[in-house]
Amino acid sequence: MIRQPIRPWTRVALGVGCALLLVLAYSALSWQAHAENPNNTTVPNGVQLWEGVKEIFSENRSGEIALWDDAVATGTRFAVGLAAGAALSFLVGIAMGALTPVGAGLGPTLLFFGSIPPTAMLAVYYRAFGIGEALYVGLIALGVFPLLAGGLYKSVLTDVTDHAVSKAYTLGASHAEVVWNVIVPQTLPRFLESLRLAAGLGMIFLIAAEWLLADVGFGHRLKLLNRVADMAVAYPYLFLLGLFGLAVDRALLELRRRVAPWWDEA
């Protein structure tokens, strides 16, 4: 049957099984590649991957650990950019939904810029922000802005009923109190859910920009590794990038549960 519930242990077993199948498939592919060429580095075997893991945690010729520098650069850019984009989107989205003239004025413009891939506007961001850290922060913030603001705008229109607004005014609420006590509680959980999706998009924008322009960061490092086909180091970098993405998603999920516990109970 469609959406038939399964036991928790069955869910765990299926997840572990799929992961094992992926590992076995990769192992078979690596074995075949090394049978043809023992020095193959594009599909590294277990020994090569272990050497790659040790390499990324080792000091370079300058006595520094490149992984740490890359993680700090990428993590800082991502956190600041996503926070700035979320704050701007929340203010604009609420204003668009609460004030009809603002929504009518900004709605078409937001839709238009939302249809342009942010990475296609790198030249525009370069002229506006320069080549420094502001470029990456601005790319993430403005890249996720149309998605978040537009989604929040629609949420205000659909999730907040006219009856709830009218009832608040009847009880003597001011305009600000209607926004804070009626609109925000109804739309905040959905906004945080949209932020989880936007976080993944923001990371895509950042890695693409670092690949093209940065001299430090995960995107820059992956570009260097790709040039020499050193996948034994690139794969651990990708693995850590995936763990970072899962951690961010989990943190945003926990944030939603803490600030809007009523949404999960509904």
Q: What is the pLDDT along the chain (266 residues), one digit of tens a residue?
A: 677 888 888 888 888 999 999 989 988 988 998 888 888 888 888 888 888 888 888 877 776 788 898 999 999 999 999 999 999 999 999 999 989 899 899 888 888 888 888 888 888 888 888 888 899 999 999 999 999 999 999 999 998 888 888 888 888 888 888 889 999 999 999 999 999 999 999 999 999 999 988 888 999 999 988 888 788 889 999 999 999 999 999 999 999 888 888 776 55
Whether 16 maps to a domain, the answer reads: no
Whether 80 maps to a domain, the answer reads: yes
What integer pLDDT is reported at residue 200 of this predicted model? 92
Determine contact, residues 48/232, Cβ cutoff 8 Å. Answer: yes
Express the helix, strand and coil content of the chain in percent, nearest 5 each. Answer: 80, 0, 20
What integer pLDDT is reported at residue 86 of this predicted model? 95
Q: What is the dihedral of CA 115, 116, 118, 119, to 10 degrees?
A: 130
Q: Which helix (H) or strand (E) holds 20?
A: helix 8-36
Number of domains in the chain: 1
The CATH number covering residue 261 comes to 1.10.3720.10
Predicted TM-score (pTM) of the model is 0.88
Query: Structural domain of residue 137, as residue ranges?
Result: 52-265
Whether 7 maps to a domain, the answer reads: no
Whether 85 maps to a domain, the answer reads: yes
CA distance to 108, 129, 155, 196, per residue, from 119 (Å) = 21, 14, 27, 20
What integer pLDDT is reported at residue 264 of this predicted model? 67
Which residues have C-beta within 8 Å of that of residue 210, sequence separation ≥ 6?
73, 74, 77, 136, 217, 218, 219, 220, 223
155 residue type, one letter: S
Structure tokens at 72: 């700090």
What integer pLDDT is reported at residue 141 of this predicted model? 93
Whether 23 maps to a domain, the answer reads: no
247 residue type, one letter: A
Distance CA 263, CA 195 (A): 16
What integer pLDDT is reported at residue 38 of this predicted model? 83
Which residues have C-beta within 8 Å of that of residue 89, sequence separation ≥ 6?
144, 145, 147, 148, 149, 152, 191
Whether 25 maps to a domain, the answer reads: no
Whether 74 maps to a domain, the answer reads: yes
Nearest-CA neighbor of 85 among 180, 184, 249, 198? 198
CB count within 10 Å of CB 165 equals 16
Determine contact, residues 105/45, Cβ cutoff 8 Å. Answer: no
Among all chains, which residue has been given the structure tokens 């023992």? 38
Render the burial of 15-54: b for 16+ CB within 10 Å, e for the rest: eeeeeeeeeeeeeeebeebeeeeeebbebbbeebbeebbe
Whether 137 maps to a domain, the answer reads: yes
Structure tokens at 242: 């995936």
214 residue type, one letter: A
| Cα 42 off chain centre by | 27
